[in-house]
Chain A
């Protein structure tokens, strides 16, 4: 297994820059997520790791060895695609043993290895079946099996669950993660689904327009986003922004939203101009005595919790509150924001201002 290190990686397609200058490290044994909207450069990054695209500049190290300009066949990694291609004329076992036999492994060793991997994936009972009649899930397991038998240094996966329906995707996500926990193989996984990334990843890189917006542990990224893009991309509903114009001093522990004074974590950076105060829905409480006011315009019941949408003069705010709390649409309410969990963003650049609360995650900048 292996560590993968990316340094100042760049890829241009003609005049279009797909990846600008990425730097991050995938540690040995990690389940690593490349997350972002379509066109953000995540798949291009993965394909460069695999050797399917050559970088315009920058370096890729696998276990300390620079492989950036080497072809895929010399990197000893396995690639699992969204549209899994199996050999239709071979049965499941042959599909899985093929990569081994073509490497020159003896049939006996190959069969033993296939049997071992089939057990791991829970597909021992279908080894002699043709692939034609398999369910989507079993086809995906066979495709994985074919990657696993080779015992590569790392697995690279491009939205492997993207084609499955929601319920089954969740099931396969759990299965994949459990498999990873048993094997401990370095895995890099591309997705545009933030929940999938949070759910499965040890670490996440969030990309947008070819730029790495943030890199770190899922909970840290969720709690302390480095930019407004990350704040909006993670979470369902995403982080709320209360937008205003004014002054936030370095060292300040409160800011003004109209008449209301909001307590915030002590700031390490100041700003004068347009800012956005970011708050997650679960850190908003409906409290009639709070000075920040708004009107409740919608409620959405979700079982354990409900989402309440409140219109304020600084923008709409969604609050996640217990579903047994009585909430009446079209009534006025106060909003209490949990002072420990607020971020302030420069609305012009989208960047988060450093505070005592987020500097541990964002660095001292």
Chain B
């Protein structure tokens, strides 16, 4: 396994800058998730690491070796894409063993067979090994394509939204599986998604991308609890952080334009009155849609709250975030 280092990477497509002087280190054995909306540069980063694309400027190192100019096959990386592409005429077993049969890998036949079974068991598809790829459900096909990456033992795994075409239940199962496979094998994994739940639950580190720049890098808890900017704060949290004028509840630090309140930063029962506009029961929790001086605020309360639309709830901020006009965090 190996560390990935990106140094000063810039990539432009005509007028459009996909990546702007990106510096990123994926430590050996880390599970790094790049998070950002469409167009943030997540997939471009992944493609540059894999060698499918070349940067205009900057350098890529894997395991300390410079990669610039090397084709994908010589980088010893395994990629998993959102759209699984399996060989439809081959069985699951043959699909999984295919990468190992390449003359480059020189793996003995019995070692291949053993490895394929082991990977299939980890991914819970052992009972389908002799099925044709076309006889599988979507979730099973995606497991096979993940398995095809796993059998190879590459220096790094690169995954581009591998779970986004699966249904919610399977996604939840595979999140746990992927994380434990990564933890057990100590593999270095660079993973791209726009799904904050995937980022928070699996990552050892999250890299927040904004228009081709890395704006924050750290463990999920750090990004959630200590965001550097309004943009980073808005990436994580459900319901989303409330962004309001800085002085809405009282005096704000100088230079602050916005106050940011996650549900747990809104203390209920004390402070100034707000009106309950709507009570949204989600089962395990209840969301309160509040009106406070013509502003909408969404927060969470007890699942079986007695509150109804039209009730009054006093609220006050509790250790809120403040942001400047340009979105930068202002620390007290």
Residues in chain A within 8 A of chain B (CB atoms): 166, 174, 177-178, 181, 195, 198-199, 218-219, 222-223, 234-238, 280-282, 297-298, 300-304, 307, 309, 320, 323
Contacts A237-B172, A309-B176; is A303 near B283 (CB within 8 Å)?
Answer: no
A320:B201 contact, CB within 8 angstroms: no
B176:A303 contact, CB within 8 angstroms: no
B162 within 8 A of A: no
Option from A178, A281, A298 in Cβ contact (under 8 Å) with B284: A281
Known A177-B278, A302-B238, A323-B221; further 12 A-B contacts with Cβ < 8 A: A166-B195, A198-B283, A199-B287, A218-B281, A219-B281, A236-B172, A238-B169, A282-B284, A300-B175, A300-B201, A301-B224, A303-B236
- Determine the distance from Cα of A302 to Cα of B202 in the docked complex, in whole angstroms: 10
| Chain B residues closer than 8 Å to A181, beta-carbon distance | 278
Residue of B nearest to A234 (CB): B283
Option from B180, B195, B281 in Cβ contact (under 8 Å) with A298: B180
Option from B237, B281, B282 in Cβ contact (under 8 Å) with A303: B237
Query: What are 22 A-B pairs with beta-carbon distances under 8 A?
Result: A166-B195, A177-B278, A198-B283, A219-B303, A222-B284, A223-B283, A236-B168, A236-B172, A238-B169, A280-B283, A280-B284, A282-B284, A282-B285, A282-B303, A297-B180, A300-B176, A301-B221, A302-B200, A302-B238, A303-B236, A304-B237, A304-B264
Q: Which of B198-248 contact A (CB under 8 A)?
A: 200-202, 220-221, 224, 236-238
CB distance from A353 to the nearest CB of B (A): 21
B132 within 8 A of A: no
| Chain B residues closer than 8 Å to A297, beta-carbon distance | 180
B263 within 8 A of A: yes
| Chain A residues closer than 8 Å to B175, beta-carbon distance | 300
A301:B201 contact, CB within 8 angstroms: yes
Residues in chain B within 8 A of chain A (CB atoms): 168-169, 172, 175-176, 179-180, 195, 197, 200-202, 220-221, 224, 236-238, 262-264, 278, 280-285, 287, 289, 300, 303-304
- Determine the distance from Cα of A174 to Cα of B238 in the docked complex, in whole angstroms: 14
Option from A166, A178, A219, A302 in Cβ contact (under 8 Å) with B283: A219
| Chain B residues closer than 8 Å to A300, beta-carbon distance | 175-176, 179, 200-202
- Determine the distance from Cα of A95 to Cα of B138 in the docked complex, in whole angstroms: 39
A195:B197 contact, CB within 8 angstroms: no
Option from A178, A198, A304 in Cβ contact (under 8 Å) with B300: A304
CB distance from A278 to the nearest CB of B (A): 13
CB distance from A254 to the nearest CB of B (A): 24
Residue of A nearest to B300 (CB): A304
A301:B284 contact, CB within 8 angstroms: no
- Determine the distance from Cα of A323 to Cα of B264 in the docked complex, in whole angstroms: 12
- Determine the distance from Cα of A297 to Cα of B289 in the docked complex, in whole angstroms: 36
| Chain B residues closer than 8 Å to A174, beta-carbon distance | 289
- Determine the distance from Cα of A300 to Cα of B237 in the docked complex, in whole angstroms: 14
| Chain B residues closer than 8 Å to A281, beta-carbon distance | 284
Residue of B nearest to A219 (CB): B281
- Determine the distance from Cα of A234 to Cα of B201 in the docked complex, in whole angstroms: 21
- Determine the distance from Cα of A281 to Cα of B284 in the docked complex, in whole angstroms: 8
A298:B264 contact, CB within 8 angstroms: no
CB distance from A207 to the nearest CB of B (A): 17
| Chain B residues closer than 8 Å to A223, beta-carbon distance | 283
CB distance from A153 to the nearest CB of B (A): 25
| Chain B residues closer than 8 Å to A298, beta-carbon distance | 176, 179-180
| Chain A residues closer than 8 Å to B169, beta-carbon distance | 238
- Determine the distance from Cα of A312 to Cα of B278 in the docked complex, in whole angstroms: 40
B264:A198 contact, CB within 8 angstroms: no
A302:B284 contact, CB within 8 angstroms: no
Residue of B nearest to A282 (CB): B284
Residue of B nearest to A199 (CB): B280
CB distance from B74 to the nearest CB of A (A): 36
| Chain A residues closer than 8 Å to B285, beta-carbon distance | 282
B179:A219 contact, CB within 8 angstroms: no
| Chain B residues closer than 8 Å to A280, beta-carbon distance | 283-284
Centre residue among B169, B176, B278 by max chain A CB count within 10 A: B176
| Chain A residues closer than 8 Å to B172, beta-carbon distance | 236-237
| Chain B residues closer than 8 Å to A234, beta-carbon distance | 283
A235:B283 contact, CB within 8 angstroms: yes
CB distance from A114 to the nearest CB of B (A): 28
A195:B282 contact, CB within 8 angstroms: yes
Residue of A nearest to B179 (CB): A298
Residue of B nearest to A238 (CB): B169
A303:B201 contact, CB within 8 angstroms: no
- Determine the distance from Cα of A236 to Cα of B238 in the docked complex, in whole angstroms: 13
Residue of B nearest to A297 (CB): B180
A198:B176 contact, CB within 8 angstroms: no
- Determine the distance from Cα of A181 to Cα of B277 in the docked complex, in whole angstroms: 10
A320:B176 contact, CB within 8 angstroms: no
Residue of A nearest to B200 (CB): A301
| Chain A residues closer than 8 Å to B300, beta-carbon distance | 304
- Determine the distance from Cα of A256 to Cα of B200 in the docked complex, in whole angstroms: 37
CB distance from A232 to the nearest CB of B (A): 8
| Chain A residues closer than 8 Å to B282, beta-carbon distance | 195, 198-199
- Determine the distance from Cα of A178 to Cα of B298 in the docked complex, in whole angstroms: 14
- Determine the distance from Cα of A222 to Cα of B285 in the docked complex, in whole angstroms: 11
B283:A218 contact, CB within 8 angstroms: yes
- Determine the distance from Cα of A309 to Cα of B282 in the docked complex, in whole angstroms: 21
- Determine the distance from Cα of A298 to Cα of B175 in the docked complex, in whole angstroms: 10
B284:A320 contact, CB within 8 angstroms: yes
Residue of A nearest to B177 (CB): A298
| Chain A residues closer than 8 Å to B264, beta-carbon distance | 304
CB distance from B277 to the nearest CB of A (A): 9
- Determine the distance from Cα of A280 to Cα of B284 in the docked complex, in whole angstroms: 8
A198:B281 contact, CB within 8 angstroms: yes
- Determine the distance from Cα of A220 to Cα of B300 in the docked complex, in whole angstroms: 19
